[in-house]
Amino acid sequence: MKYTGVELLEKLSMLFGPSGCEGEVAEFIVDQIQGDCDSIETDRVGNIIARISGRGIEYNPESPKKVMVCAHMDEVGVMVSDITEEGYLRFSTVGGISPTVLLDKKVILLCENGKKINGVISSKAIHMQTVEERGKVIPTSKMYIDIGASSEAEARQYVEIGTVGVFDSDFVLFGEADNLIKGKALDDRLGCAIMIDIMRELYTNGKGLEYDVYFAFTCCEEIGISGATVAANKIRPDVAIVLESTAVADIAGVPAASKVAILGEGGAISLMDRSTIYDRNTVEIALAAAENYGIKAQIKKYISGGNDSANIQRSGKGVKVLSLSAPSRYIHSASNVIHREDVDAMRSLTYTLIANGKI
């Protein structure tokens, strides 16, 4: 069965896919895009690369243009690093997770036999903490995962060193007209959902494209060892659009100047982050298209973070890259929050740039 819109995003959000363990997500995506592109391949590192052919060489025999659209499949998570004699699991984070969002959260762990088990993240009981400890953030090294085992031997029947897990979180619509979405892994399953929807529309309506378009669903972005490097070196695009999420800080008590972007005001276009300075002409093209077609878009106002753009930009002979991100509250937690209108705006702008030859 093929899914669309919010239902598609929910299905993607609920899948298990921490960095290096994206197989479940990849299988679902391949099933969803079958018949909506001219080719699909999975490379050695686990990226999915789908192609929709345009006029290609017939359009420009000397140098057929290639456009790449990219979103990563992986999510942040945890990895078991030790098992105590009492049966508790010490762990490290997979990707950037603040210790402040970990305590008391439910997690799902993937066992070696493919079975999934539940756990709860906890730490020393508060009545056992010193006054000094109570006033500090508990580091991840002082936390553990409780899977209900009573001994190390019992725990090892289910998990081992290297077992990975993700947040166990519901997918919830809330707010006015249910316009807000709360869930895990919206960074960057929302980008994957947008790409799937665009592929379907392009494949139906876009056979006159002036260039080939490659859709790369990449792996391992959250740990910085990005599969996008491999994908971009294979595709060798001229220009790429990276669909992402970005932290926003649009909450109470934050000065206006510190708010990265605003939920409901469209995708955030980056000028610069910690790893990339974006091609200004490409940014201007995107902003002009948004204005001309009445699509919401905004500039990301704070220099922070990074994404697959850096790896793509530096591949081959160099690539012009546009980063378009959904403003996201509480990113890299069990309760990432995004606005449905931002997802729709990102989809519309990306499709317009590709289908109308604006990029």
Q: Which positions are annotated as active-site residues?
A: 221
Q: Do 212 and 59 touch, CB atoms closer than 8 A?
A: no
Q: What is the CA radius of gyration of the chain?
A: 21
How would you classify the pairing of strands 180-183 and 66-72?
unpaired
Structure tokens at 21: 């363990």
Which amino acid is present at 148? G
Read off the tokens for 143: 């936390």
Amino acid identity of 224? G
Q: Which residues of 158-178 are buried (b: 16+ CB within 10 A; e: fewer)?
A: bbeeebbbbbbbebeeeeeee
Residue written as tokens 């995003």? 9
DSSP structural state of residue 296: -
Helices vs strands, H then E, count in the chain? 10, 17
Round to whole Å and give the CA distance between 243 and 328: 13
Order of strands, sheet of 297-299, starting from the edge strand that comes earlier in the sequence: 39-42, 48-52, 212-218, 66-72, 239-247, 320-328, 267-269, 297-299
| Length in residues, the chain | 359
Tokens 């997500």 found at: 25
Token code pair at residue 77: 């998570």
| H-type alpha helices, the chain | 5-13, 23-33, 56-59, 131-134, 152-155, 186-205, 228-235, 280-292, 309-313, 340-355
Alpha carbon distance 119, 94 (integer Å): 16
Q: Which DSSP helix (H) or strand (E) runs through 323? A: strand 320-328
CB 328 within 8 A of CB 243: no
